[in-house]
A and B are shown apart, each in its own frame.
Chain A
Amino acid sequence: MTAARQGGTPLLVATKIVKDYPSVKVLKDVDVSVAEGDTFAVIGPNGAGKTTLFKVLSGEVFADRGTVTFKDLDVTRMPEWKRVRLGFGRSFQVARVFPDLTTDENVVIAIEAYHRNAGQPVTRGLACKPSRETRDIVEDTLLEVGLIDKRHEIARLLSHGDKKRLELAMSLALRPRVLMLDEPTAGMSPSDRRAATELIAAIKERHGMTIVLTEHDMEVVFGLASRVAVLHQGAMVVTGTPAQVRDDPMVREIYLGSEPVHA
């Protein structure tokens, strides 16, 4: 079910999404409507289909049936790299960075990709070196995510939390309209988790982009989300404000069966 919208115009809309894997129906007629400016969280027990929905929305896999639109453009069958050019940015559940490159090289690649995608020149003339502008943005972005001191470190040697920060920096470099975060605090210690939540909130505050996230930790969800959707056994059961979702009897039942909603 889709609850009445609050405010913003729909930016990312998925309608009647069906996705089957051999012998298992993962998503059954799922509807999602994310409004411009929302922080939209998709929650649900393990195996509910959150990651698959995330993949369908970001273009990593295509839906078997149903449509995905972005800014009223049908992107259902559009590969991920083209969606990124429209304004998608995403992070992965297990942070994915370019492991043998340094932190700043990772961000340079993202910024240059953004400039290239926008049809802007990437380097000056025949120069190999990234432009002054690119290097300035690298500095700003690394400052923003708190990695400026680790700019020369090889990405593979960064801690788990720092890899997540770096991934965020790479996504930010793309200046996305919608930032998709797949379990942004997975595998983090409580203090790292708090720091990550604050960082995401700060980024949202500063850039104002729409955020779609999946998350296990309810503290994080209710701390960040303006809208929450609950997925259960491949179907969307409730969508609403955090308060509505917390008080929903069906949600309580689903979570009491597996894990309590504590927030």
Chain B
Amino acid sequence: MTSSTNGSTINGSTWRRDALIAAVALAVLVSLPFVANKGIVFVAGTLALHVVFGLSWNLMFGQTGLVSFGHASFFAIGGYAFAWTAKMFPQLHPLLLFAGAGVLGALVALVVGMIALRRSVGVYFAILSLALSQIVYLLLSYTPSLGQEDGLTGIRRPLLSLGLTTIDLARGDNYYYFMIAMCTLLAIGLWWVVHGSMGRVFKSIQQDPERAAFLGINVQGYRLRSFAIASGTTAIAGALYGPWLQLLTPEIAHWTFSARPILYTLLGGVQSFWGPVVGALCFAVLEYGTRTLHGLSEIVVGCILLLIVLAFPGGLLGGLSRLGKRMAGKPAVAAKPELAR
């Protein structure tokens, strides 16, 4: 049985393909510390977090039709929640703290969503989410116990006790591996949501919310779920970020950071699950490749992004799939990323 989009797989072949892609990506990430320098390992670890950030944003946008301009606020909420609680309650198990950060992100999304999603979708929701991120940014910048504009420094990589053994995540590349493992689990979770029956409900809402309501689907309830899942996942990614950088500043709640997952998704492709992954990878490569061009880096990255988006309106993966269809002799159907109605 064929599948029109990633979002609603009916057959089993997609998971085999996706598992293969994931296995190759994992193999590369795991072997990286053995073959590459510290700088590249750092970029790869950060990329893993950004991949989760992008995937969770696209759960809302590509899958449910919700545009958020303030997704970074949840990254920041998770990051600060973990760093602060780890400092205040060092006796608590770090996994509990990571989970707690995720739950907090999801809860904030539920509360905000209950108000913001009541009547407003589309651009209104986008603006409300932007407002939320600015509030979070200002709160972080003015709260003395969170370090105000200087942020939190000296965030420690915790000891991870796993019953029989204890791993010191501060040693060597341990934290890198831990992050890769966590991000893999989060990505698998998102994959499962997107491809399962809940994902099909989300997709129906993205396609036509009114039609979905006439199937007995509680559209607002499912939008809220999508928002909460995406936010909770992002909050865990944010929680992982603090110990990775050992520093957090309010900049991670800034709207420019919220633009990241949007860029990844549009660059890689909205319609594919892997779109934000490809987008984040491209972005990381571009940033790394232009890091020595002081002052010029942003201009070069910006121009290349502009070119890609103009050449491939459906993102890189959308362009590839059209190319593949054309080579196979099938009529090309342009991907139409639609903003939420």
A contact set with B: CB distance below 8 Å: 58, 60, 79-82, 84-85, 88-90, 92, 96-102, 104-105, 108-110, 112-114, 116-117, 122-123, 126-130, 135, 151-152, 154, 157, 170, 174
Contacts and interface: CB of A to CB of B under 8 A. Distances in A.
Interface centre among B195, B200, B208 (most CB of A within 10 A): B200
Contact of B9 (A99, A113, A129): A129
B208 A152 contact: no
Interface in B1-49: 1-5, 7-12, 15
B201 interface: yes
Nearest to B215: A113
B171 interface: no
The 5 closest A-B pairs by CB, nearest first: A84-B216, A98-B207, A113-B215, A128-B196, A128-B195
B151 to A, nearest CB: 39
Nearest to A85: B216
Interface in B196-233: 196-197, 199-201, 203-204, 207-208, 210-219
Contacts of A104: 1, 10
Given A105-B3, A105-B8, A113-B215, A123 B204 contact: no
Contacts of A96: 208, 210-211
27 contacts: A81-B213, A81-B214, A81-B218, A84-B215, A85-B216, A90-B214, A92-B211, A96-B211, A97-B208, A97-B211, A98-B204, A98-B208, A100-B271, A100-B336, A102-B10, A105-B4, A108-B10, A109-B204, A116-B197, A128-B9, A128-B195, A128-B199, A129-B11, A135-B10, A151-B1, A154-B333, A174-B216
Contacts of B216: 81-82, 84-85, 113-114, 116-117, 174
A230 to B, nearest CB: 26
DSSP majority for the A interface? mixed
Interface in B137-187: none
Contacts of B124: none
A109 B10 contact: no
B116 to A, nearest CB: 19
Nearest to B9: A128
Nearest to A89: B214
B192 interface: yes
A123 to B, nearest CB: 5
Given A96-B208, A110-B215, A101 B197 contact: no
Nearest to A91: B214
Contacts of A81: 213-219
Contact of A101 (B8, B11, B213): B8
Contacts of A100: 4-5, 207, 271, 336
A110 B208 CA distance: 13
